[in-house]
Amino acid sequence: MLITHKPSTSLQPIQQSVCVNFNYDVYFTNGLFQLDNSLLAQVIAADGEITAKKVLAIVDGGLLKHQHGLLKQISVYADFYSDVINLSEPPIIIPGGEIVKNEPRFVEQIHQMIDAAGLCRHSYVLAIGGGALLDMVGYAAATAHRGIRLIRVPTTVLAQNDSGIGVKNGINAYGKKNFLGTFMPPYAVLNDFDFLTSLSDRDWRSGIAEAVKVALIKDADFFEFIMKSAEKLAARDMKAMEQLIYRCAQLHLAHIANSGDPFEKGSSRPLDFGHWAAHKLEDITYYKLRHGEAVAIGIALDSTYSYLTGLLSQSEWQKILGTLETLGFTLYLSALREQLHQPEHPHYLFRGLSEFREHLGGKLTITLLQGLGQKIEVNQVDISVYKQAILMLQDWELSHP
């Protein structure tokens, strides 16, 4: 039915167009809170205002198991640069990991702290931790006073090359990943490579999955670098990791700035290649999987589907799975198959497709590969082929113990 608009008055509509520029820098450093490293103070002082700024520092509790003197270090740093930084209270410890995005009380806690400290839009929230904590704190900061300046200090590989450098903030709700959230760019991002030395092997490896993802859809040369450096990366070679993080961050930031859709108003999400299954696997496993571990499985699944549908050659498919394997990722879990014959079950893997579409809106848009460094977007998929892909991943895992 054709719907026509009949004006209720003779007044013409007022056409409104608002253009907003967001600018923020992503820095790379070592020893961020050493007194001879003035980077943080310079970033805060750069707004040109003379008085010291109120800063609320929030620290991932998981860090303190390895960074024993971090809280004192932050306080001493603030005292040393007291003409710029006014620490509203001692650094606050909040648990890291996905639990912090699953329980709304943490957002409320930060809102209460912001209120009690009298922070305003010219104040700063300093979030120090992994991607989950940064997501949650970013959401809290963006919704207090409609937006308080957020400085992110990512402390994991995943956060430094992906989640901590972008424009998204969010928490989980109703069994869905990032159901509540905002698009709000940070004021700045400060990547300190020294934090990576205390990561567990799981967390070190987990963040590499996002680099594999962006390389596969955007930069074949970068994938070649990862493939050739896979053994070094698995062995925790810091120079190789620094190169990986830097190039991955470049590609992510370039996409956000130049895609024409930084706040995801359309139906396409190429940076979420492999993520429709990854998000569902996190839910199915009750977040026992790290995000990057789930993404690695999602990449393997979508790459296998691409191979089965004739988009990828066998050699390209083998290179992808072989690289993920060399990096140390598991590419098959029984959770992939557990409810495959019960579409109504909440843990049915392919509910992830409808949840993926629903999260963005519009039509289903899945990114697949038609070559290394070459993506293609499709609007429908064949579930029977995906089920075959799952069996192939199981066979791969059995033949590559």
For residue range 202-219, what is the model confidence (pLDDT) as tens digits?
999 999 999 999 999 999
pLDDT digits (tens, 9 = 90+) for 159-188: 999 989 999 999 999 888 889 999 999 999
Q: Mean pLDDT for the chain?
A: 92
Bridge-based pairing state of the strands 366-371 and 374-378? antiparallel
Question: If you average pLDDT over residues 271-291, what whole number do you get?
Answer: 91
Integer Cα distance of 45 and 393 in angstroms: 52
* Residues contacting residue 68 through CB under 8 Å, at least 6 positions apart: none
> Maximum Cα–Cα distance for the chain, whole Å?
74
Alpha-carbon gap, residue 380 to 297, rounded angstroms: 20
Dihedrals phi, psi of 181, to nearest 5 degrees: 180, 180
> What does the pLDDT average to over 231-247?
98
pLDDT band at 225 (very low <50, low <70, confident <90, very high): very high
Give the integer Cα–Cα distance in Å for 225 and 215. 9
pLDDT of residue 24: 94
Task: Give the angle 25-27-32 at the CA atoms, nearest 5°.
Answer: 135
The domains of the chain, with CATH numbers, are 25-198 (3.40.50.1970), 201-399 (1.20.1090.10)
Of the two residues 271 and 183, the one the predictor is more confident about is 183
29 CB neighbour count, 10 Å cutoff = 14
Lowest mean pLDDT across 89-98, 132-141, 216-225: 89-98
Q: Judging by DSSP bridges, how do beta strands 25-29 and 92-94 pair with one another?
A: unpaired
| Position 1 pLDDT exceeds 90 | no
Using pLDDT thresholds of 50, 70 and 90, give the confidence band for residue 268: low
Residue 58 has pLDDT above 80, yes or no: yes
Residue of higher predicted confidence among 283 and 37: 37
Chain length of the chain: 401
- Dist. CA 67–CA 59, nearest whole Å: 11
Q: Among 281, 261, 299, 399, which residue's Cα sits nearest to residue 338?
A: 281
Considering only 291-295, 307-311, 363-367, which range has the smallest mean pLDDT?
363-367
Q: What letter would DSSP give residue 163?
A: I
Nearest to 368 by CA among 301, 297, 282: 301
Q: Lowest-pLDDT range, 5-14, 82-91, 193-202, 286-295?
A: 5-14
Pairing of strands 168-173, 176-183: antiparallel
- Note whether 301 and 329 are within 8 A (CB): no
* Chain segment 9-52, per-residue pLDDT in tens: 788 899 999 888 889 999 999 999 999 999 999 999 998 888 89
H/E stretch holding 377:
strand 374-378
Q: What is the pLDDT of residue 267?
A: 46
Report pLDDT for 21.
Answer: 84
7/120: higher pLDDT: 120
> pLDDT by residue (tens digit) across 307-335?
999 999 999 999 999 999 999 999 999 99
Lowest mean pLDDT among 17-21, 50-54, 156-160, 364-368: 17-21
Q: Rounded distance, CA 401 to CA 210, Å? A: 23
Q: Measure Cα distances from 100 to 60, 218, 260, 294, 323 in Å.
A: 10, 32, 32, 18, 32
Name the percent of the chain lying above pLDDT 90. 78
pLDDT class for 5, splitting at 50, 70, 90?
A: low
Cβ within 8 Å of residue 251, ≥6 positions away: 214, 215, 218, 219, 222
Mean pLDDT in residue range 193-206: 95
pLDDT band at 376 (very low <50, low <70, confident <90, very high): very high
Q: What is the mean pLDDT of the segment spanning 364-393?
A: 95
The pLDDT value given to residue 349: 93
Q: pTM for the whole thing?
A: 0.90
Confidence bin at 108 (pLDDT 50/70/90): very high
Q: Which two tokens stand for residue 320?
A: 């992808």
Dihedral angle sign, alpha carbons of residues 287, 289, 291, 295: negative
Give Cβ neighbours of residue 11 (< 8 Å, ≥ 6 apart): none
Above 70 in pLDDT, residue 261? no
Radius of gyration of the chain (CA): 22
First to last CA, the chain: 59
Question: Which pair of tokens denotes residue 158?
Answer: 């995943």
For range 274-285, the mean pLDDT: 93
Task: Check residue 4 and give its pLDDT.
Answer: 64
- Cα gap 349→221, rounded to integer Å: 32
User: Would you say 136 and 59 are in contact if contact means Cβ atoms under 8 Å apart?
Assistant: no
| CA angle 247–139–23, rounded 5-degree value | 45
